Amino acid sequence: MEGKIIVVTSGKGGVGKTTATSSIGAALALEGNRVAIVDMDIGLRNLDVVMGLENRIVFNIVDVVQQRCKIEQAAIRDRRIDNLFLIPASQSDNKDVLTTSGVERVAKELRKQFDYVIMDSPAGIERGFENSIIGASEALVVCTPDVSAVRDADRVIGILYSRSLTPKLIVNRIEPARVRRGEMLSHEDVMEVLSIELAGLVPMDDKVLISSNTGTPLVLQNDSKAGQAFRRIARRINGEENVPFEVPTDKTNMWSKIGKTFGLRQ
Ligand SMILES: Nc1ncnc2c1ncn2[C@@H]1O[C@H](COP(=O)(O)OP(=O)(O)OP(=O)(O)O)[C@@H](O)[C@H]1O
Ligand SMILES: [Mg+2]
């Protein structure tokens, strides 16, 4: 059976695409899948650092598309998580070096070799974004609870629909205390405006920064609320039913936790 290609996108920059790609990819591998995460942010390159694999890069996705090497030569195997591979971006090229037919050919090959391929897209809706949706059969839109992120996500969702992709939503960096103080949109506001199916809710969590600075997978940190949220998203993607949508809370009180935990239809 052929694997699935999932593109992670957002419109606005800095909302958590790379964090989501690395975490969901790692979590899907922990669920027993063979997973490739691909950095399509050509010219910048981030995913390798977040995963702590920057010292092991030999070839990159541009080399694969331009047939200078095979997928197997560019894919870096993660030594901490079985069946997890990273195909890094190139830092020296610009995004125009990738041709549609070249990316299509590689996407087809990736589907043969992996159960899941997660594409980390660059911010914006230009060429780099277009390159990363080629070959994708599913899309995740990451959005933070702020007005500009929601507006950009809305635009991207429209584009994805026009390419026959039905995106699902990840609301990231949720901060309940700031929502209560009226400083931030709630995740319900975001969900209502964008009105697409929910993939998951991810809280603001200091462990995210620590994990990306030290190159340790967030999902291996059992005390990370964001890591747990990404693991639940991966289980849903992997077809598990009735994985609860835990609403982030800053209260440690048990009653508050029980009250705020509910199961939404998937
Ligand atoms: N849930 C979270 N809690 C705390 N910090 C987070 C969370 N998600 C992401 N971050 C932080 O936000 C910053 C941006 O995240 P990330 O690089 O994943 O965004 P991006 O959408 O890939 O950005 P770009 O558009 O530049 O590629 C990083 O410093 C990351 O550690
Ligand atoms: Mg990024």
10 CB near ligand 1 (under 6 Å): yes
The whole-number average pLDDT for the span 151-162 is: 97
**pLDDT, tens digit (0-9, with 9 covering 90-100), for 33-45:** 999 999 999 988 8
Q: What is the pLDDT of residue 266?
A: 36
Spatial contact of 256 and 249, defined as CB atoms under 8 Å apart: yes
Q: What is the pLDDT of residue 228?
A: 97
Ligand 1 center from residue 15 Cα (angstroms): 5
209 CB near ligand 1 (under 6 Å): yes
How many domains are there within the chain?
A: 1
> What percent of the chain shows pLDDT beyond 90?
87
Give the Cα separation of 8 and 10 in Å (integer).
7
The whole-number average pLDDT for the span 235-263 is: 75
Contacts of 252 (CB under 8 A, 6+ apart): none
> What percent of the chain shows pLDDT beyond 70?
94
Q: What is the CATH number of the domain that holds 192?
A: 3.40.50.300
- Domain of residue 258: give its range: 4-262
Ligand 1 center from residue 255 Cα (angstroms): 31
Parallel/antiparallel/unpaired status of strands 4-9 and 116-120: parallel
Q: How many helices (H) and strands (E) does the chain have?
A: 12, 10
Ligand 1 center from residue 1 Cα (angstroms): 33
208 CB near ligand 1 (under 6 Å): yes
- Measuring CA to CA, how many Å separate 72 from each of 68, 113, 134? 12, 9, 20
Q: Taking 90 as the threshold, does the pLDDT of residue 100 lie above it?
A: yes
